[in-house]
Structure 1
């Protein structure tokens, strides 16, 4: 590969990253932002944006992929080295919420352009980790549920989606939502509400 080719590739990568960063900011500010608006905000011509992303839907899909990757990294980092299943769930949900809150308007937007099945497929690796964690908690007697771990993981996932929508609708503040969602997820897994509340407060203060 020649130096000229390498330089062109680097510029293209830099343009792509800039377009994604600007697109996220613009779409969070205005969910109906057009490709023209995004191009102007990024300081490039419309053709450059379409050169990287053939459609607005493709651009949003790429942003969703980035959000899912950030969620997975937050989940893994939060659970690392934590032996207690309840604490691991608490740390995971709190960490995931920080990312989800940042992207919550994007998630609402993505539901218009990315199919629900498509979002579920993207979240599958994250869900599989949650299933293993929940099963461990059920086996240890830390959690209790009439649902199997695989179904309980779906319940937890949908709870977080519901809380993001509640924040978007102004029913709860983003600041309150993180802890409240974590307590709710733990109680859904059979942890007593008082125990869950104390654990979430302890984890939050120590983070």
Structure 2
């Protein structure tokens, strides 16, 4: 394969990913034709990249999760309150990625690779809260599992506000920090 072909293939793939997420957020039952139109490519090109809608949705979910991991990686050395605040600042602008995952989670939750990534992220989150409890950053009368669920819920509330246009990412991040830290922080 030529370098020019590789670049064109990568550009098409990126256009498909962005259009797929946006299209499926608007219409979770959208078909391949609608996604191809939104990406500005033909159906044949789309099918050269993904042989089925299920394969495309799986790739979109994996991409969202991999982007999340990459965005969080620079903050892995943080713990407790500092980690929570950094994670919120990183995740809040990723509204479209998380809303996509939530809207189509039932289609990918049985996938082994998706399940491994999700389990690793969940375990890392629980460890972060347990370390924060031990360090005195978070309340000891609440279990780490509660904090993780509450954290997810406050993030979801923030993403909902951003998606509705009721708050900017920065405003929603501030709301999430205040809410989470008022409930779970010390």
Shorter chain as denominator, the TM-score bin is: 0.7 to 0.9
Question: Which ranges in structure 1 are unaligned for 5 or more consecutive residues?
Answer: 192-207
Matches within 5 A, 1:69-108: 69-77=66-74, 79-80=75-76, 82=78, 85-99=80-94, 101-108=95-102
Change (3 A) 1:43 1:143: closer
Change (3 A) 1:117 1:185: farther
Structure of greater Rg: 1
1:181 to 2:172 alignment = no
Question: Which ranges in structure 2 are unaligned for 5 or more consecutive residues?
Answer: none
Distance in 2 of aligned mates of 1:143 and 1:182: 13
Tell me which of 155, 158, 165 is aligned to 2:150.
155
User: Could you tell me which residue of structure 1 aligns to residue 47 of structure 2?
Assistant: 50
CA contact (8 A) 1:19 1:39 kept: yes
Change (3 A) 1:149 1:9: farther
Tell me which of 104, 107, 127 is aligned to 1:110.
104
Alignment RMSD, CA only? 3.3
CA contact (8 A) 2:21 2:96 kept: no
User: Could you tell me which residue of structure 2 aligns to residue 136 of structure 1?
Assistant: 131
CA contact (8 A) 1:67 1:103 kept: yes
* DSSP-derived class of the 2:51 partner: coil
